[in-house]
Amino acid sequence: MRFPPHAPARRRLEGVAVHLLALLLALVILTPVVWLLISSVSSTADLTSLPLRWWPGTPDLSRYAALLSVAPGSPGAAFLLALRNSLLVALGATGLSLLVAIPAAYSFSRLPGRRAGLLYAVLATYMLPPVALVLPLYAVLARAGLLNSVYGLALVYCTILAPFATWLLKTNFDAVPLEIEESAQIDGLSRWGVLGRVTLPLALPGLSTAAVWAVLLAWDEFFYALLFTSTTSAKTLPVAIADFAAGRAVDYGLICAAGVVAALPPILIGFLLQRGLLSGLSAGAVKG
């Protein structure tokens, strides 16, 4: 936004205000997370001392050692398995969902026919509360032997991710100028060819946005994971962490450390793909 050139004093004042507000925003965002970090490296004595000690006497990294050690005799075994499971489920579900969502999104965007209603139906399934599906899904997974399996869970997540990705990709495809496609078609490319060689590369930011959102959604999911996985070989991080905290175990530091480790991958992904996240969303969002 432009400042009127004739008001330098006011402009400086506004500048100060903007910086102060930005600082406030950063504090609001960072304080809880920083406290989580500090708690994870504070000794239990520091955490439970009154009045509260805001800074640990000596940093205590033992929880991270415990969580990240594969050595026999550490809780890391179960935790790292959950980390692996979460990775497998999130990446598997995302890959599969994008695979089915890309052509569907293209079809909705470029060959709508009279299928707009269908698009909204697909989108509507994304918002269905999982409680409405969970009992029959449980029975189906049980019969297929896919309970307590990362593959089973990944398949279930497709029911969430595929409609969502279809919708997001469709809005992104809409933003790709038609003229480019038209000339490609005149050059003899089929619809599949146009999708693969023209539209998709142009909509790459949107694709990465969809992928990141899908990974974040899958990484985050708790309800299905809680009910469909109970063994360490399939349990995902949210469930493992909720287990940690379920009986309100005394070692708050360990819970916090587990939280930090579980939060790192999505936050890193978010940071790395930040540009795509923003631009992809904006391209998708203009049309709504």
Interface of this chain with another protein, residues 11 to 70, rule: CB under 8 A: 15, 18-19, 21-22, 25-26, 28-30, 32-33, 35-36, 39, 47-48, 50-52, 54, 66, 70
C-beta of 210: minimal distance to another protein in Å? 13
Closest among 224, 221, 218 to 238, alpha carbons compared: 221
Q: CA gyration radius for the chain?
A: 24
Contacts of the segment 48-53: beta carbons below 8 A, 24+ positions apart = 48/252
78 binds another protein (CB under 8 A): yes
Residues 207-236 binding another protein (CB under 8 A) are 216, 219-220, 222-223, 226-227, 230-232
- Asked if 130 touches another protein (CB under 8 A), the answer is yes
Q: Does residue 271 belong to the site contacting another protein (CB under 8 A)?
A: yes
Structure-block tokens of residue 28: 């609001």
**Which among 171, 149, 160, 153 has a CA at the least distance from the CA of 127?**
160
- Shortest distance, CB of residue 121 to another protein, whole angstroms? 8
Tokens, residue 112: 């709508």
With H, G, I as helix, E, B as strand and everything else as coil, classify residue 211.
helix
Q: How many residues bind another protein (CB under 8 A)?
A: 138
- Closer CB to another protein, 58 or 145, in the complex: 145
Q: How many beta carbons lie within 10 A of that of residue 255, not counting itself?
A: 19
What does the DSSP 8-state code read for residue 52?
P
> Which candidate, 239, 106, 208, 220, places its Cα nearest to that of 157?
220
């009992």: which residue's tokens?
135
By the rule CB under 8 A, 137 interacts with another protein: yes
135 binds another protein (CB under 8 A): yes
Residue of the chain from 9, 55, 143, 186 that contacts another protein (CB under 8 A): 143
Minimum gap (Å) between residue 261 Cβ and another protein: 9
244 is a site residue for another protein (CB under 8 A)? yes
Identified binder of another protein from the candidate list 68, 88, 91, 118, rule CB under 8 A = 118
